[in-house]
């Protein structure tokens, strides 16, 4: 596997002078993010029972107004936003199941590898990731406020961009004496920008201002629609949230931008621990039928590995990715068939879908880097060894490319 290279598609940014002191990275409207380091430059896809595990948890009140959208330009530095628009190129990281509750090292190593994906002081800020989007299970085991410093603020102390999230089942399980998602709301859904959470300790990072636990991130080239799939194994979605998802798919399509849907419980998964979710399959199918819109990319976590699928429906092709190896200590293996490891690609027809299992990595931690332009969406998955040298860069192990205007997978 080749060592990860720096972002492509742009001229090499001008070399920068190492920082003489640690600097706090700031954005719009009093947002503050990480601080720079000193002087450092039978195989089945959808069979998960929908009602096992903890029961459905009541959603907390929204922090913002419907339809619960947050514009990226209201969070990141205006110069960075303008550079992204001018370059017609947006980069961001994503991974799920990041909390390092039992062993902090995997989460720390993934965080370091993502840090290494930044240039220091580039002439063109658009070459750097604009944000990190967590795919749930940010803090184990039940999203306790007491764990936010060790599993969130500490590991990402030097991540130089905002961090968004859709909650996972472990973020939403109710803690004794507390309500479901209360700590998540406090740290990701602050009502005012520049709010410093009591859970952040001495971290410079301020709480994010997501308008709800299900919400849409509006960017210049894509809408990222985050669906909260609640606590029960296999996920559960209230009809009101399903109606919201249908409406957001319509609105995103009308904006003529790439459409990305995020959720914690995956629709397709070939692992031997959770597998895919039939209830989430039905929910998204209902929203697609109601809106007439097929997402270009569906991102999920919950399963602690990396898997990529292509779903073909008529002339349309969409990509489904599980990226749940972001830091929780144990990894989930892909199921074996007759004692043998699966050799991809494998195409199966389930619930009327033609789904091809394209690629997987189930023995290493990692993160996904997404690059969006018009009309292309490029995904690059990087692995991080369980115990690498400190601050080792990721290793590129998978690449996919979509034409989101023509609904075609190009490679």
Residues in contact with 177: Cβ distance below 8 Å, sequence separation at least 6, in sequence order: none
Contact 403, 13 (CB under 8 A): no
Which pLDDT score, from 0 to 100, does residue 134 have?
98
Which pLDDT score, from 0 to 100, does residue 338 have?
82
Which pLDDT score, from 0 to 100, does residue 387 have?
58
Could you tell me the pLDDT band of residue 401, with boundaries at 50, 70 and 90?
very high
Strand partners, 311: 318, 355
Contact 404, 296 (CB under 8 A): yes
Other C-beta atoms closer than 10 Å to the C-beta of 18 total: 12
Could you tell me the pLDDT band of residue 42, with boundaries at 50, 70 and 90?
low
d(C-alpha 144, C-alpha 147), whole Å: 5
CATH architecture of the domain with range 24-41+48-409 = 4-Layer Sandwich (3.60)
Could you tell me the pLDDT band of residue 390, with boundaries at 50, 70 and 90?
low
Mean pLDDT lowest for which of 162-171, 176-185, 196-205?
176-185
The reply to whether the predicted model has a pTM over 0.75 is yes
b/e per residue 167-197 (b: at least 16 CB within 10 A): bbbbbbbbbeeeebbbbbbbbbbbeebebeb
Which pLDDT score, from 0 to 100, does residue 175 have?
78
**How much is the average pLDDT of 72-91?**
97
d(C-alpha 171, C-alpha 182), whole Å: 9
* pLDDT of residue 276 exceeding 50: yes
Residue whose token pair is 């931690």:
365
């Amino acid at each position: 596997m080749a060592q990860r290279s720096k972002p492509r598609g742009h001229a090499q940014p001008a070399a920068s002078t190492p920082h003489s002191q640690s600097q706090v990275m700031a954005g719009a409207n009093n947002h503050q993010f990480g601080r720079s380091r000193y002087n450092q430059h039978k195989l089945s896809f959808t069979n998960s029972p929908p009602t096992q595990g903890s029961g459905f948890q009541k959603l907390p009140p929204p922090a913002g107004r419907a339809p619960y959208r947050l514009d990226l330009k209201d969070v990141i530095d205006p110069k960075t936003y303008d550079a992204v628009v001018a370059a017609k190129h947006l980069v961001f990281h994503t991974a799920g199941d990041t909390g390092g509750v039992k062993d902090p090292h995997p989460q720390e190593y993934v965080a370091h590898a993502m840090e290494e994906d930044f240039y220091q002081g580039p002439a063109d800020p658009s070459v750097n990731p604009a944000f990190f989007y967590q795919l749930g299970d940010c803090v184990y085991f039940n999203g306790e406020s007491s764990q936010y410093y060790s599993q969130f603020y500490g590991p990402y102390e030097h991540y130089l961009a905002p961090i968004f999230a859709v909650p996972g089942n472990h973020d939403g399980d109710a803690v004794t004496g507390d309500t479901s998602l209360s700590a998540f709301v406090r740290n990701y859904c602050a009502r005012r920008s520049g709010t410093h959470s009591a859970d952040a300790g001495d971290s410079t990072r301020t709480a994010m201002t997501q308008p709800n636990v299900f919400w849409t991130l509006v960017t210049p080239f894509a809408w990222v629609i985050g669906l909260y799939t609640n606590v029960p194994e296999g996920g559960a979605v209230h009809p009101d949230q399903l109606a919201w998802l249908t409406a957001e798919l319509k609105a995103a399509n009308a904006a003529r931008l790439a459409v990305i849907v995020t959720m914690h419980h995956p629709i397709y998964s070939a692992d031997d621990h959770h597998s895919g979710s039939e209830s989430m399959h039905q929910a998204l199918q209902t929203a697609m039928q109601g809106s007439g819109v097929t997402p270009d990319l569906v991102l999920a976590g919950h399963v602690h590995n990396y898997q990529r699928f292509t779903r073909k429906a008529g002339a349309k092709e969409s990509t489904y990715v599980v990226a749940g190896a972001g830091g929780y200590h144990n990894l989930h293996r892909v199921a074996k068939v007759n004692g043998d490891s699966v050799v991809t690609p494998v195409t199966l027809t389930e619930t009327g879908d033609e789904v091809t299992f394209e690629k997987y990595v189930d023995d290493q931690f990692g993160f996904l880097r997404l690059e969006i332009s018009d009309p292309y969406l490029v995904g690059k998955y990087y692995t991080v060894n369980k115990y690498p040298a400190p601050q080792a860069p990721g290793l590129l192990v998978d690449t996919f490319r979509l034409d989101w205007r023509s609904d075609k997978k190009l490679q």
